[in-house]
Structure 1
Amino acid sequence: MPAPGTSALVVELPAAAGLLDAAAAIDPALVRAGLPPHVTALYPFLPAAELTDEVDAAVTALAAAHEVVDVPLADLVVAPGFVAAAAPALQALADAAGDRWPGVQPYGGRFGPHPPAHLTIAMGGTDEQNTEVARRVEGLLPLTARAEALHLVVLTERGWQLRLTAALATPAR
């Protein structure tokens, strides 16, 4: 469980809310409270005490270097205590975030320097719960969600709070 002062870079995907709703219908504890459906670009990010105007500017520049993108969510990833939808369309952004802050290991280094981009649907469930979440979610896939911004969020005593929204670049036409 993250502690207050933890921050993260995330890309919200509101169109994927139904996937989290399906998991919450089985057990609300399977879905992270306080965060909308999202793909994590870098977690944990910098401690809140280290977030400065310069960091905000770097996050904004990172977002501006990546275009708004439609994110197909079609493939489920199921592992013990975990159900997610793969989000390869956001892999370049997640990799760039990790490369920009090489001293920050995604997920504490548990999955290497470039873990696969994904939308977490359920966490902490039993095998039976995961099977049921996967069954319900498969009926909602595939779906496509639009990624338009990179968000810097900070965990406080009151939950996750938005610090910065940085727009992704508009694709050239």
Structure 2
Amino acid sequence: MSRTLLALLIPEAEPLVDELRQRYDPAARRGLGAHVTLVYPFLDSEAITADVMASLRHVVAGYEALRFRLERVRTFPSTIWLAPTPAEPIQALAASIEEAFPVRPSARQSFPEFVPHITAARNVSRELSSITGVLQERLDRLGPVACHCSAVALMESRDRRWHQMTTLALS
């Protein structure tokens, strides 16, 4: 049984976060590039049937391709991340998917609200300030990064790596 997630893959963010993610984000070392997680966990891979895929495609196709900027560095208590602006279209997409699939495996950690973000470093309480400074310097040097997502990626965790099962087109 393999867990899956739904994400927006954000290659435009790699110049900002790749080196940090390789050092400080286990998901990067498992093959998952810069991304915004929409729903995790989604379903166990064995539960993803043709009907599930048809429903998921229908929900995702109801949304236009997403355009946003990365122009702010933010933190959670031990995580450093980039904030997509505007966040509302991403929040709406994630909410629609969760509404269409209310019965899913439970997450190890639950959060009061969904905050779209691209993780740069996790579990870095002691280094939070210095790593935040490094990321902010990169963002200041490169300027706001324009991003465009035309699909949602369905990813599967298998053999301790993340693998892309398929993509679902946004309209």
TMscore range, shorter length: 0.7 to 0.9
The residue correspondences of 1:39-118 to structure 2 (distance < 5 A) are: 39-87=36-84, 88=87, 89-104=89-104, 107=107, 110-112=110-112, 114-118=113-117
Query: Aligned runs of 1:1-173 on 2, under 5 Å?
Result: 5-24=2-21, 28-30=23-25, 32=27, 33=29, 34-87=31-84, 88=87, 89-104=89-104, 107=107, 110-112=110-112, 114-128=113-127, 130-139=128-137, 140=139, 141-169=143-171
Q: Answer yes or no: is the 8 Å Cα contact 2:36–2:116 preserved in 1.
A: yes
CA 1:102/1:41 → structure 2, altered by over 3 Å: closer, same or farther? Answer: same
C-alpha distance in structure 2 between counterparts of 1:121 and 1:72, whole Å: 16
SS of match in other structure, 2:119: strand
Alpha-carbon offset, residue 104 of structure 1? 3.0
User: TM-score with structure 1 length normalisation?
Assistant: 0.83
- The AA in structure 2 aligned to 1:28 is R
Cα deviations across residues 120-151 of structure 1 (Å, max 9, x unaligned)? 111122332x2222112223152221111001
Kindly indicate whether the alpha-carbon contact (under 8 Å) linking 2:43 and 2:105 is maintained by their aligned counterparts in 1. Answer: no
TM-score (norm: length of structure 2)? 0.84
Identity %: 25
Write the distance in 1 (CA, Å) between the matches of 2:118 and 2:158: 22
Q: Secondary structure at the match of 1:35?
A: coil
Counterpart code for 1:133: I
Structure 1 residues 6, 85: closer, same or farther in 2, change over 3 A? same
Q: In the superposition, relative to structure 1, how do residues 92 and 76 fare at CA in structure 2: closer, same or farther (>3 Å)?
A: same
CA deviations 1:48-86 (Å, max 9, x no partner) are: 111111111122112211111212122222123211122
Q: Distance in 1 between matches of 2:152 and 2:98?
A: 14
2:25 corresponds to which letter in structure 1? Answer: L
